[in-house]
Structure 1
Amino acid sequence: MEQHSRAFRFRRFLNWFPLGLTYAAMYMGRYNFNIVKADIGRMYHLDIAQMGLIATLGFWTYGLSVALTGPLADRIGGRKAILYGALGAAVLNLAVGLMFLGGFTAKLMVSMSLLWSANMFFQSLGALSVVKVNSTWFHVEERGVFGGIFGIMISSGYFFAVSAGSFILSHLAWYWVFLVPSLAMGVMFLVDLTLVRNRPSHAGFGDFDTGDGSRAQDAEDAPLPLRELMRKVFHNPIIVSLIFAEFCTGFVRQGVMLYFTEYLSAVYGLSNRAGLYWWTGVAFMFGGIFGGLLCGWMSDKLFQSRRPPVAFLFYLVQVVMLGLLGAALGHGTHGGEIWAIVLLGLTAMFIFGVHGMLTGTASMDFGGRKAAATVAGALDGIQYIGSGLTGFGLGYLLKTHGWDGVATAGHTPTSAWVWVGSIIPFSLVGAFIMTRLWHAKPSAGAH
Structure 2
Amino acid sequence: MPGRLLRLFQPAPAQPASYKSEDEMRSKFRYWRIRQLYSTFIGYAIFYFVRKNIPLALPLMEKDLGLAKADLGKILTLHDIVYGISKFLNGFLGDRCNARYFMALGLFLSAAANVAFGMNSALGVLIVFWVLNGWFQGMGFPPCARILSHWFSPRERGTFWGLWNTSHQFGLAIILILAGYLGEWYGWRWIFYVPAAIAAAVALLLVERLRDTPASLGLPPVEAFHGEVPAQAEATRPQSTENQSLHEFWRFLVRSVFSNPFIWGACLSNFFIYVVRYGFVNWAPSYLQDRQVSLAGAGWMMAGFELAGLVGALMAGWLSDRLFGGRRSPVCFAYMLAATACIVLFWKLPDGHPWAYAVVLLAVGFLIYGPQFLVAVFTADLATRKAAATAIGMTGFFGYLSGVLSGWGLGHLVDQHGWNGAFQVLIACSLLAALPWVFMWKISAEHAPKEDGSAS
**TM-score tier (shorter):** 0.7 to 0.9
Does the 8 Å CA contact 2:221/2:239 hold for their aligned counterparts? no
Q: 1:388 to 1:128 in 2, by over 3 A?
A: farther
Report the alpha carbon displacement of residue 5 of structure 1 after superposing the two structures with TM.
4.2
Shift of 1:385: 0.2
1: CA distance, partners of 2:415 / 2:349: 18
Amino acid of the structure 2 residue aligned with 1:435: V
Matched ranges for 1:110-259 at <5 A: 110-209=124-223, 217-220=237-240, 221-223=242-244, 224-225=246-247, 227-231=250-254, 232-259=256-283
CA distance 1:76–1:312, change in 2 (3 Å): same
Q: Deviations over 1:63-104 (max 9, x none)?
A: 22234211111111433331221121111112112x14xxxx
Work out the CA distance in 1 between the residues paired with 2:134 and 2:252: 24
SS, match of residue 221 in structure 2: coil
Extract unaligned runs of 5+ from structure 2.
Answer: 1-21, 452-456
Is this contact kept in 2: 1:52–1:392, CA < 8 A?
yes
- C-alpha distance in structure 2 between counterparts of 1:247 and 1:166, whole Å: 28
Instruction: Tell me by how many angstroms 1:435 deviates.
Output: 0.7
Q: From 369, 379, 394, give the equivalent of 1:363.
A: 379
SS at match of 1:46: coil
Q: Distance in 2 between matches of 1:173 and 1:52?
A: 20
Secondary structure at the residue paired with 1:370? coil
Query: 1:406 aligns to what?
Result: none
Distance 2:253 2:314 in 1: 31
Partner of 1:271: 294
User: Which AA in structure 2 matches 1:438?
Assistant: W
Note the 1:3-402 alignment, pairs <5 A. 5=26, 8-97=29-118, 99-100=119-120, 105=121, 108-209=122-223, 217-220=237-240, 221-223=242-244, 224-225=246-247, 227-231=250-254, 232-266=256-290, 268-273=291-296, 276-330=297-351, 333=352, 336-359=353-376, 361-402=377-418
Give the letter for the 2:287 counterpart: Y
Separation of aligned partners in 2, 1:184 and 1:313: 38
2:143–2:389 contact (8 Å) kept in structure 1: yes
CA 282–9 in structure 1, closer or farther in 2 if over 3 Å, else same: farther
SS of equivalent residue, structure 1 residue 259: helix
CA shift, 1:140, in A, is 0.8
Q: Within 2, Cα distance between the matches of 1:446 and 1:434?
A: 24
Q: Please, which moves more after superposition, 88-97 or 166-175?
A: 166-175
* Deviations, residues 134-166 of structure 1 (Å, cap 9, x unaligned): 001111111111232243112112112211111
When the two chains are superposed, the root-mean-square deviation of aligned CA atoms in Å is: 2.3
Does structure 2 retain, via aligned residues, the 8 Å contact 1:150–1:292? no
Segments of structure 1 that go 5 or more residues without pairing to the other structure are 404-416
Q: Say if 1:24 and 1:160, in contact at 8 Å, map to a contact too.
A: no
**Equivalent in the alignment of 2:14:** none
CA contact (8 A) 2:329 2:440 kept: yes
Structure-2 residue corresponding to 1:438? 441
Q: Normalization by structure 1: what TM-score?
A: 0.88
Give the C-alpha shift of residue 383 in structure 1.
Answer: 0.1
Aligned residues: 417
Equivalent residue for 1:411?
Answer: none
Decide which moves more: 201-210 or 249-258.
201-210
Task: Tell me how far apart the structure 2 counterparts of residues 445 and 374 of structure 1 sit (CA, whole Å).
Answer: 15
Question: 1:271-330: per-residue Cα shift (whole Å, max 9, x none)?
Answer: 213xx3342243123202111110010011001111111111111111011111111211
Deviation, structure 1 residue 193: 0.7
Letter aligned with residue 138 of structure 1: F
- Alpha-carbon distance between aligned partners in 1 of 2:415 and 2:367, rounded to the nearest angstrom: 28
Query: Retained in 2: the 8 A contact 1:326–1:419?
Result: no
Amino acid at match of 1:30: R
